[in-house]
Amino acid sequence: MNKPLKVIFAGTPEFAKVALQALIEQKNELNIDIVAVYTQPDRKAGRGQKLTASPVKELAIAHNIPVEQPESFSLKSENGHVSRGTLANYQPDVMIVAAYGLILPLGVLNTPTFGCLNIHGSLLPRWRGAAPIQRAILAGDDKTGITIMQMAQGLDTGDMLYKVECAITDTDTTQTIHDKLADLGGQAIITVLKDLQNYQAKAKKQDDDLANYAEKITTGEGEINWQNDAFNIQRQIRALNAFSYLSVEKNPNERIKILECKPIKADQTTVKTAGTVVSVGRNAILVACGKDKDGIQHLINITKMQWAGGKPLTAEQIANGDKLNDGDVFQ
């Protein structure tokens, strides 16, 4: 039997944990030895602001895999020199990277025998960068996927080894697509590792002319502009923690998250000003939106909302309370 492939896994959040779990479960079939896991340093989290290990670290510890948490790989710092030395001492054959969150300089990319492979949550070259899932939903894309990429200097610019597609339905949210892609990412990296040298030999360069950049989401992008058409607003709600404010005295500047909705065509004889709550019912809360490019107005049918500091509420729960009434207006 050939010697096991020495694998280092680098990742931090739940998305990466799913891939690591898949590798752990398939390590004997793949003939790999996961010699170390790299993840971000513990961060303060929660109301108590206690230092919390990443999901990837917790999984690695549970399986007795050594964990490394360098602050940097930069040669401008002593820590960076030490981090590179530690990495080299593992003598890795390949590094698998998934949402790690730390820049890997060229010297690190070249340390493993077969380089570093990235599990990226889009169909490259579309949506390079930090927020590919949210940007795909906001743009109205009907599909996304996973690309296994040979990492190179540059932002997600490396050669593509393998792709697998995932449909985006009109009810998918960032969370549902995240979960689908996390599973696909684990499956995809296993596929590639089963025949790594062949996939690397057939790697395809990206067409930079087709590239889109998925810039990091800002808080301001989550505020709903009710002058937009209902379909754009729905995509915003599905993609982001979308929110709005009610222009009523009892709720001054209180942020309200809109969690679930769907567009419906308005009765054109009763067109309302954008942002107006047309009706509060047990099955739906209807809010007027702006007109689309054809001059047609649609309503947003909201089925779940959340007031600041409160729990998510269904339309029925809201209808039974006094937080929202017909004729109220969102800013």
With 80 as the cut, is the pLDDT of residue 251 above it? no
Q: How far apart (Å, rounded) are the C-alpha atoms in residues 318 and 302?
A: 11
Q: Which domains does the chain have, with CATH numbers?
A: 5-214 (3.40.50.170), 219-319 (3.10.25.10)
CB crowding 200-225: b at 16 or more within 10 Å, else e: beeeeebeeeebbebeebeeebbebe
The band of 159, judged by pLDDT with boundaries at 50, 70 and 90, is very high
Residue 59 Cα distances to 10, 36, 180, 197, 219, angstroms: 12, 12, 20, 28, 31
Burial class (CB in 10 A: 0-12, 13-18, 19+), 232: middle
107-118, pLDDT tens digit by residue? 999 999 999 999
10 - beta bridge partners?
A: 38, 97
Q: How many residues does the chain have?
A: 331
The band of 270, judged by pLDDT with boundaries at 50, 70 and 90, is low
45 - beta bridge partners?
A: 50
Closest CA to 31 of 7, 9, 4, 8: 4
57-72, pLDDT tens digit by residue? 999 999 999 999 999 9
Number of H helices, E strands in the chain: 9, 17
Closest CA to 158 of 94, 113, 206: 206
Mean pLDDT of the chain: 93
